[in-house]
A and B are shown apart, each in its own frame.
Chain A
Amino acid sequence: MFVQALLIGLWAGLAGIDQFNGLTHIHRPIVTGPVIGLILGDFTLGLMAGATLELVWAGMVPLAGAQPPNVVIGGVIGTAFAIITGQDPAVAVGIAVPFAVAAQASITLIFTAFAPVMHKMDVHAKNANTKGIDHLTYIQPILLFGFFFIIAFLPIFFGAEQAAEIVSLLPEWLINGLSVAGGIMPAIGFAMLLNIMFKWVYAPFFAIGFVAVAYAGLPILAIAIVGVAIAAYDYFIQDNVKPEPVTNTQTTIDDEEDFSDGI
Chain B
Amino acid sequence: MEYNNQNEEVISNEIQDPSTEKVLTKKDLNKMVWRSLLLQSSFNYERMQGGGWTYSLIPGLKKIHTNDHDLSNALQDHMQFFNTHPFLITFVQGVILAMEENKEKRETIRGIKVALMGPLGGIGDALFWLTLLPITGGIAASLSAEGNVAGPIIFLVAFNLVHFFLRFFLMHYGYGMGTRAITVLKEGTKKVSRAASIVGMMVVGALVASYINLSLNWTIQAGEIPVDIQGEVIDAIMPGLLPLLYTMLCYWLLKKGRSPLTLIGMTIVLGLAGSILGVM
Contact = CB atoms under 8 A, between A and B. Distances in A.
Given A137-B55, A188-B264, A118 B151 contact: no
B28 to A, nearest CB: 14
A136 B58 CA distance: 13
A178 B261 CA distance: 16
A227 B207 CA distance: 13
Given A130-B62, A187-B214, A31 B207 contact: no
Interface in A213-227: 213-215, 218-221, 223-224, 226-227
Contacts of B219: none
The size class of the interface chain A forms with chain B is 35 or more
Interface residues of B, number: 113
A30 B198 contact: no
A234 interface: yes
B271 A190 contact: no
A126 B273 CA distance: 61
B115 interface: no
B145 A114 contact: no
Nearest to A215: B239
A117 B190 CA distance: 38
Given A187-B247, A195-B251, A195-B255, A224 B135 contact: yes
B76 A122 contact: yes
B44 A219 contact: no
A183 B238 CA distance: 20
Contacts of B7: 122
Interface in A19-38: 20-26, 28, 30-31, 33-34
A64 interface: yes
B227 interface: no
A235 interface: yes
B94 interface: no
Contact of A128 (B42, B72, B197, B270): B72
Contacts of A257: 190
11 contacts: A52-B141, A62-B129, A97-B264, A128-B72, A133-B75, A180-B274, A188-B267, A208-B205, A212-B202, A213-B240, A221-B139
